[in-house]
Structure 1
C-alpha cells in the first residue's frame, strides 16, 4: 500500500491553471447571463433602460470590451467620399487620384475602346469617383494580410474591382459620353443630388 503513487503528484501542474481560467470564464458567463435575464425581465415589465445600454455596461463588467472603445474603433474608418465636404473631400480625392493613377490605371486598364471606356478626367464624374473610392477602401482592407489573410487580394478582385470596372467601363457607364480626346460630364449628372449626399444646415 505504501508503494502506490500519491494521486496528487500525478496531476500535471498546468492543469490547475487551466481549471482556474475555466472558473473565471464560467463566472463571467454566469454574470452575463444573469444580466441578460434581468434585462429581459425589465423589458417584460415594460420598464428599464434601453437594451443596448444595459448590455454595454454588463459586457464591461463581465470582462468584455466596453461599448465606447468599440465605437471609437469604428470611427477610425474613413467615411464614404461623397459624404465629405471641402477640404476633407479634396484631401480624400487627392489620395484617391494617387491610387487610381499609380496602381489602377497602369496595372489594370488597357487602351480605352467602345466596349471598355475610360475618361482621363474620371475625377470629374461623381459616379466614377464613388465607385473608385469604394474599390480603393476595399483594397486598403483586403491587401493587408493582418486583417484578411492570404485570400484578401482574390476577394478584392472578385467582389470589388471586377464589378466596379464592368460598371465604369460599360457603354452605358459614366464615361458613355466621353470619347478619345473628348470629355463630357453634364450628360450623367442628375438634376437633384440625393439628400443623403448633401450637408445642409439643419
Structure 2
C-alpha cells in the first residue's frame, strides 16, 4: 500500500435517492409502533408475539393468563343445587326458599287440586327443589334489563315458569301424593328395578 494520499481508491458512486434515508427511518418507526401494538394486543411483555424480553411466554398472572383466571371462569356458572354439599347447599336452599315463598307462592299458585298439586313441604322433594332452583336462576337473569332487555320477563314466563309449573303440579309430578295438607315423600322413592346387568342365572 502506498503512502501517497493521491493513491486512495475512489468509492463507487451509488445512485441512492436522498429521500430513501428518510423513508427507512419512517419504516423503522412504523415497525416499532406496530410491534408495540401487537405486544399490547397479545398481552406480551414488550416483545412481539406475546413473548417478554426475559423469554417468558406472557402467560403470567400480571398478563391475565394465570390460574386465577381459570378459577374465575369456572366459578362464573351457576351451580346445580343438588350437586352442592353443606354449607353451600344450605345457603343456596335458604335463598331459594325466600324467593319461592316470596314470589312464586303468592304470585303464581292457586289452591292445590288433583290436577294442580302443590306441597307446602316442597323442600323435601329433591326434584322439586332442582326445578325451582333452575327457575330461580332463569328469573335472576331474565329480570335484569341490562342483560336481557325488556322482553326478559315475557321470555321467563313462556320458556321457564309455565313449563316448570306444568311439570311440578302435574298429577304425576313430584307432589303426586301430596294433597291438601297431606305430605308424602315416601311414595316418590322408586322401588328397586330389575336390571339385566345384575341378573344371576339360576
Q: Structure 1 180/146 Cα, relative in aligned 2: closer, same or farther at 3 Å?
A: same
- Following superposition, the deviation at residue 66 of structure 1 comes to 5.1
Aligned partner of 2:158 in structure 1 is 158
Correspondence list, 1:1-202, <5 A: 69=69, 72-190=72-190
User: Hey, what's the Cα distance between the residues in 1 that align with 2:70 and 2:153?
Assistant: 26
Aligned partner of 2:13 in structure 1 is none
| Rg larger in structure | 2
User: Hey, what's the Cα distance between the residues in 2 that align with 1:76 and 1:144?
Assistant: 17
Cα RMSD over matched residues? 3.1
Q: Deviations over 1:38-77 (max 9, x none)?
A: xxxxxxxxxxxxxxxxxxx89x8xxxx8586375144133
Q: Structure 1 94/153 Cα, relative in aligned 2: closer, same or farther at 3 Å?
A: same
- Following superposition, the deviation at residue 162 of structure 1 comes to 0.7
User: Hey, what's the Cα distance between the residues in 2 that align with 1:190 and 1:160?
Assistant: 27
Segments of 5+ residues of structure 2 without an aligned counterpart are 1-32, 43-48, 50-56, 193-202
- Following superposition, the deviation at residue 186 of structure 1 comes to 1.0
TM-score by length of 2: 0.61
Deviation >6 Å, runs of 4+: none
Bigger helix share: 1
User: Hey, what's the Cα distance between the residues in 2 that align with 1:143 and 1:79?
Assistant: 19
| Greater relative contact order, per chain length (Cα 8 Å cut-off, separation 6+) | 1
User: Hey, what's the Cα distance between the residues in 1 that align with 2:115 and 2:66?
Assistant: 49
User: Hey, what's the Cα distance between the residues in 1 that align with 2:166 and 2:84?
Assistant: 26
Segments of 5+ residues of structure 1 without an aligned counterpart are 1-19, 30-34, 36-56, 193-202
Aligned partner of 1:198 in structure 2 is none
Aligned partner of 1:11 in structure 2 is none
- Following superposition, the deviation at residue 86 of structure 1 comes to 1.3
Q: Deviations over 1:21-49 (max 9, x none)?
A: xxx69xx69xxxxx9xxxxxxxxxxxxxx
User: Hey, what's the Cα distance between the residues in 2 that align with 1:129 and 1:189?
Assistant: 15
Aligned partner of 2:26 in structure 1 is none
User: Hey, what's the Cα distance between the residues in 2 that align with 1:67 and 1:136?
Assistant: 33
User: Hey, what's the Cα distance between the residues in 1 that align with 2:65 and 2:146?
Assistant: 23
User: Hey, what's the Cα distance between the residues in 2 that align with 1:70 and 1:106?
Assistant: 41
